[in-house]
Amino acid sequence: MASRGDKTFVIWPSYFDKNLTRNKGRKVAQKHAVDKPQLDALIKAARSLNLNPHVEKEAAHPSRPYLHEGRILVDKQKSKSEILKQIAQRI
């Protein structure tokens, strides 16, 4: 399993889940969030942005260890909030 470091950001599908509140893990605005975000959609969006995603399909977010939603690690090319906005616009 790769870990986040100085050169990558960790992106979880829950960051884009419109059914979650900000306190429960959503990171994008409600208007940019989607219902049940899929890891494959995040991968495709990250590739289209040339972020070189590294996929970890069985990863579980620390706040929800029972849910193995997966995650991607992407290159730090901009701020994390800007990258999340760009991904949200593509999913």
Is residue 20 packed enough to be buried (19+ CB in 10 Å), middle (13-18) or exposed (0-12)? middle
pLDDT at 1 exceeding the cut of 60:
no
Closest CA to 41 of 9, 2, 72: 72
Q: Work out the number of other CB atoms within 10 angstroms of the CB of residue 51.
A: 23
> Residue 13: its pLDDT value, please?
94
Residue 31 lies in a domain: yes
pLDDT level of residue 43 (50, 70, 90 thresholds): very high
Asked if the structure places residue 44 within a domain, the reply is yes
CATH number (domain holding residue 25): 3.30.56.30
Among residues 91, 55, 53, the alpha carbon closest in space to that of 74 is found at 53
Give domain status of residue 81, yes or no: yes
Q: Does some domain include residue 1?
A: no
Does residue 35 carry a pLDDT above 60? Answer: yes
Domain region containing 13: 8-90
Q: Tell me: the pLDDT tens digits for 54-76? A: 999 999 988 888 989 999 999 99
The total of structural domains in the chain comes to 1
Average the pLDDT over 27-37 and give the result: 91
Q: Please indicate, yes or no, if residue 2 is contained in any of the structural domains.
A: no
pLDDT given for residue 67 in this prediction: 87
Mean of per-residue pLDDT scores for the chain: 89
